Amino acid sequence: MKQAIHPDYHKITVVMTDGTKYDTFSTWGKEGDVLQLDVDPKTHPAWVGGINMRKTGQLEKFENKFKSFGAMPAKKAATETAAEPKKKEAAVEKKTTAEE
């Protein structure tokens, strides 16, 4: 290997957000430095279940954009289907009274 082209690989201490410490080797800082983490796998929402990654896909975006295309909302559909027989009954009654 060529000399003086590789970074210095040394031992550092990493401190997690909950205070736990461990030693590792890194090219960060100098020998014996302490790396204080702001975000780690114990607190980040992506690792602890705070974010539902499935809801950010292209299929979900498409479904959200076109969910009302060609389909009525459930409340509106229920009220219209309940009102239709009443309208038909009223129309039949009007015809029978007009014929008499």
Domain ranges of the chain: 1-51
Cα 90-95-99 angle, rounded to 5 deg:
150
What's this model's pTM, rounded to 2 decimal places?
0.44
For tokens 């975000």, name the residue.
Answer: 39
The CATH number, out of the four listed (4.10.80, 2.40.50, 3.40.50, 3.30.70), of the domain defined by the range 1-51: 4.10.80
HSE of 98, CA atoms in CB hemisphere, 13 A? 6
For 32, the token pair is 């014996």
Q: What is the mean pLDDT of residues 2-18?
A: 91
User: How far apart (Å, rounded) are the C-alpha atoms in residues 9 and 100?
Assistant: 103
pLDDT of residue 60: 80
Phi, psi of 35 (to 5 degrees): -100, 110
pLDDT of residue 9: 93
pLDDT tens, 29-87?
999 999 999 988 888 777 776 666 556 678 888 888 888 887 665 555 556 555 555 66
Q: How many CB atoms lie within 10 A of CB 19?
A: 6
pLDDT of residue 26: 95
